[in-house]
Structure 1
Amino acid sequence: MDVKTAFLNDDLNEDVFMRQLEGFKPEGQEHLVCKLKKSIYRLKQASRQWYQKFDETMKKQYFIKNQVDQCTYLKMSGSNFTILVLYVDDILLANRVNGILGLSQKAYIERVLTRYNMQHCSPSVAPVVKGDVFGSFQCPKTEVEKEQMRMIPYASVVGSLMYAQVCTRPDIAYIAGMLGRYQTNPGLDHWKAAKKVLRYLKGTKDHKLTCRRSDSLEVVGYSDSDFAKCKDDKKSTSGYIFMLAGGPISWKSHKQQLTTTSTMMAEYIVVYNATCHDMLLKNLITGIKLVNSISRPLKLYCDNSAAVSFSNSNSSTGAGLYLDTK
């Protein structure tokens, strides 16, 4: 098929084509392309084709897709149920022993430690402590310093930490996000902080997310924020976590987009963001049909009395934020 015809013909939009490989072009037919009968890796259509095939297969097995998170499927048969979670091309599988569900990344953490020659390091008691300061003032200033940092796999280590915190380690969410801010130009202080997190993971690699069987399933959220702790732009960092059956089910730590002028405003912003996520979780869990109390308002705790009072006042701010927690 001619290259121009293949890529410009509207009738062929659903088809996928690729150019002939080097060394396989017949003489006089170099302008032709190959039509693929199946999707292959590295094509932009491949991931979509894979999901459509997976979704079709799940429906044949009587799984119901969650409308909020379309990578979550539920299958119920009497009092038995199966929840299936799809992540790219992996499926999350878990079983309960004595009413306990645990998620661990011990094997992954051990591989990361070995990859960066930290498997024999001394464990650290905490990934970050009060008083630790990070900022662009710690970034390399001279070409010699920059060249020294080019030999250090800083971005790779931070990426490994982020993968761990996204899956099962909310305890390193703050420091992983903080270190990620300096990936374009990290300094030795940032690198030392990253290795400190690795040492912390060494001592806590057996830790796991644990949920226990309970007769009262209720989603409870907690939010918090520092105030203007970023040394570069004086912005605050927000954090929230939601618990169910004694274990965390969703969490986030991120720098706020607004520059706040008080601790109340910094706390109010994270309460607002947590409430938005709260509503998403409520819709998601409703589709799973396992938490009866989800029909009631979810609880969200904040440790700043001024932010709580302002939230309950049904008032609006100059920034255009509005929150009603009633």
Structure 2
Amino acid sequence: MNVENKTVWKKGTFEVTRLEDVDQQKHRILPLRWVLTYKFDKHNRLVKFKARICVRGDLQPMSGMETYASTLAGTSFRTLMAVTARFNLETIQLDAVNAFTNAVLDELVYVWFPPGFNRSGYCIILRKALYGLRRSPLLWQKSLKSTLMLLGLTPLDEDDCIFISKYLAMMIFVDDMVIVFRDKYRDQARKIVDGLKAKYEMKEMGEINIFLGVRIIRNRKKKRLWLCMDNYITKICEEFKVDKKRRGPTTPMGSDNLIPHQGEATPEEIHWYQRRTGSINYAGIMARPDVCYPSSRLSEFHMNPSDLHSKSADTCLSYLWNTRYFAIGFDCEGKGTLFCASDASFADDTVTRKSTQGYVMMLFGGPIAWKSSKQRRVVTSSTEAELVALTQATKEYLATIRLVKELQLELDDDFIMQCDNQQTLRLLTMENPQQNSRLRHININNLWLRQELQIGVIKYHWIKTNEIVADGTTKTLPPQKQSLYIAQLRMTDVQSYIETADPTV
């Protein structure tokens, strides 16, 4: 706490003022609080205790000023990691120390002294942004963006948390940064690092190792890279007391007969259910596409979970523990192909009769984007469900194509969208679609997809149901099909590599 307190004062964040000089009718004095965290290394060993001073921003009056600050998209992170594997790029990871306090605050905010450092008759004027304030993330982002642009980097239109130059790319998540570059451009990368260090207090952490809770494992000789969440999964399984001795399930959900709770859950039951499903969801978003469907399904019951819902969440946690070393991976083998697979499960919700839709995008041998969600409206046929799903997947696919093009990647093949419903594809390719009167009520989806097909950016291909990689995003799979789904996702068990550092995984 003493170290944090001295650091914040040293950066000019605080200015002491007499309490009698503050008009407390106009300005509320906000309390500060200590947030205590633990830092772990790549082997999940505790290496540091950390204390951070934060403002109770939830008590800050609404000012009407802009507060939104963008964050790095998961798709962008995985795409850049896929590119790193493909071209065997170098990386430098950086961490900005007390990042928010580098930004000058543009509004008048009063706070009390941090607990344990009180001074009677005085309070503090904030001169720099501090963790917890509504505008702090945006002010830090503006400061960092301005610095990077002065250093010759340009933000992407598709994701302004990725910056590029003719020599390198850089991704940013708040105060965590990774520079990606070819070895011959190491001097240019060093100039960026030195420029940042001249402006901010930065901690250089070497090659990328753990980023956003994801362990990055590399085999430089074979140009392979894996993203594994074993440390994160171990942490949440310890928190929720998962039985580690019991043999875990081979599928993330035992059955899909979940229905809304007819009773009423207690606030404590709701709280713990939301914590468990939220933890599962983060894994499903970042590097575990094999649990994206159960995560989405369990999230439907956040507001009133039953015992069955809680048991299903525990089953998913147990599955994650049993498969904690499963990792998605990218390599340099084969063609540089970006393709997307879309699927739908017609009227599978037995209560609302809404359909489930999902997609998976693959680049350089591994998944870079995936999603499972419930369609917003009830449809009347499997063809209609597939059309709605294909529309959503195509929109996401086009956004990813724009990202890939901004990164100046030259891929080998056309952009292919896969679908296992032949009638849906016939509707997109038939010369006179108005002949099918049964689907006139979804004509917008149909015509928009036909338009994208005619423009020529995307080509739609039929693929067998048992071969489509998106099948596991729309339904619970039995053990044999779950194993096939994991193989289609190109997921690998990397435990032996982590424990022995054997590069022949």
Scaled by the length of structure 1, what TM-score is found?
0.83
Match of 2:127 among 21, 34, 37: 37
Do 2:111 and 2:125's aligned partners in 1 also have CA atoms closer than 8 Å? no
Residues 226 and 266 in structure 1, CA contact (< 8 A), matched pair in contact too: yes
Amino acid of the structure 1 residue aligned with 2:224: I
Q: Secondary structure at the match of 2:390?
A: helix
Query: Within the alignment, does 1:70 sit opposite 2:160 as a pair?
Result: yes
The structure 2 residue matched to 1:122, chosen from 214, 231, 247, is 247
Q: 1:85 aligns with which of 171, 174, 186?
A: 171
- Residue number in structure 1 paired with 2:139: 49
Describe the shift of the 1:183–1:207 C-alpha distance in structure 2 as closer, same or farther (beyond 3 A): same
User: Does 2:245 align with 1:108?
Assistant: no
Is 1:201 paired with 2:320? Answer: yes
Aligned equivalent of 1:306: 423
Matches within 5 A, 1:180-199: 180-199=299-318
The alignment partner of 1:270 has SS state of helix
Alignment of 1:211-230 (within 5 A): 211-214=330-333, 216-230=335-349
Unpaired stretches in structure 2, ≥5 consecutive residues: 1-21, 29-62, 67-104, 179-207, 209-215, 435-439, 455-505
- In structure 2, the residue matched to 1:30 is none
Q: Does 1:318 align with 2:475?
A: no
| SS at 2:324 equivalent | coil
> Counterpart of 2:170 in 1: which secondary structure?
strand
Q: 1:275 matched to which residue of 2?
A: 394
Following the alignment from structure 2 to structure 1, what is the Cα–Cα distance between the partners of residues 328 and 287? 6
**Matches of 1:100 and 1:75 in 2, distance apart?**
25
Aligned position for 2:257: 133
Superposed CA offset, 1:164-185 (max 9, x none): 0110011111110000010110
- Alpha carbons of 1:63 and 1:221: their partners in 2 closer, same or farther (altered >3 Å)? same
Are the equivalent residues in 1 in contact too, given 2:339–2:363 (CA < 8 A)? yes
Aligned residue type for 2:234: E
- Checking the alignment, whether the CA contact within 8 Å between 2:269 and 2:305 is kept in structure 1 is no
Greater strand proportion: 2
Partner of 2:407: 288
Q: Does 1:257 align with 2:376?
A: yes
Q: Aligned in 2, Cα 1:312/1:25: closer, same or farther, shift over 3 Å?
A: farther
Q: Residue type matched to 1:86 in 2? A: I
Instruction: Give 1:4 shift.
Output: 8.1
CA apart distance, 1:122: 2.3
Match of 2:112 among 21, 46, 57: 21
Moved over 6 A (4+): 3-7, 22-25
- 1: CA distance, partners of 2:259 / 2:249: 22
Structure 1 residue 63, shift from structure 2 partner: 3.1
Q: Partners in 1 of 2:125 and 2:110 — Cα distance? A: 9
Opposite residue 173 of structure 1, the aligned amino acid is C
Q: Deviations over 1:133-153 (max 9, x none)?
A: 1111xx152x6xx34972872
Equivalent-residue separation in structure 2 for 1:4 and 1:113 (angstroms): 48
CA distance in 1, matches of 2:350, 2:294: 15
In structure 2, do the counterparts of structure 1 residues 151 and 287 end up closer, same or farther at CA, with 3 Å as the change threshold? closer
Equivalents in 2 of 1:285, 1:49: separation in Å?
Answer: 28
Note if contact 1:140-1:186 (Cα within 8 Å) is conserved in structure 2. Answer: no
Alignment partners' CA distance in 1, 2:163 and 2:334: 23
Quote how far apart the aligned CAs of 1:34 are: 5.8
CA-atom RMSD in angstroms? 3.0
Alpha carbons of structure 1 residues 148 and 74: separation in structure 2 relative to 1, 3 Å: closer
How far 1:102 moved relative to its partner? Answer: 1.1
Q: Is there any run of 5+ residues in structure 1 with no aligned partner, and where?
A: 28-32
- Residues 274, 74 of structure 1: CA spacing in aligned structure 2 closer, same or farther, 3 A cutoff? same
Maintained 8 Å contact 1:134/1:230: no
Check the 8 A contact 1:118/1:199 in 2, yes or no: yes
Which string of whole-angstrom CA distances, capped at 9 and with x for unpartnered residues, describes residues 272-326 of structure 1?
A: 1111111101111111112344xx7510100011111112237484133231224
What secondary structure is seen at the aligned counterpart in 2 of 1:283?
helix
Task: Check conservation: 2:270, 2:302, Cα contact below 8 A.
Answer: no
Alignment check: 8 A CA contact 1:240 1:252 kept: yes
What is the distance in 1 between the residues matched to 2:397 and 2:152? 29
Aligned counterparts of 2:391 and 2:266: Cα–Cα separation in 1 = 43
Q: Which amino acid aligns with 2:324?
A: K
Task: Give the CA deviation at 1:3.
Answer: 6.8
Deviation of 1:107 (Å) = 0.5
Query: Do the aligned residues in 2 keep the contact of 1:16 with 1:35 (CA within 8 Å)?
Result: no
- The change in CA–CA distance for 1:18 and 1:24 in structure 2 (over 3 A counts) is farther
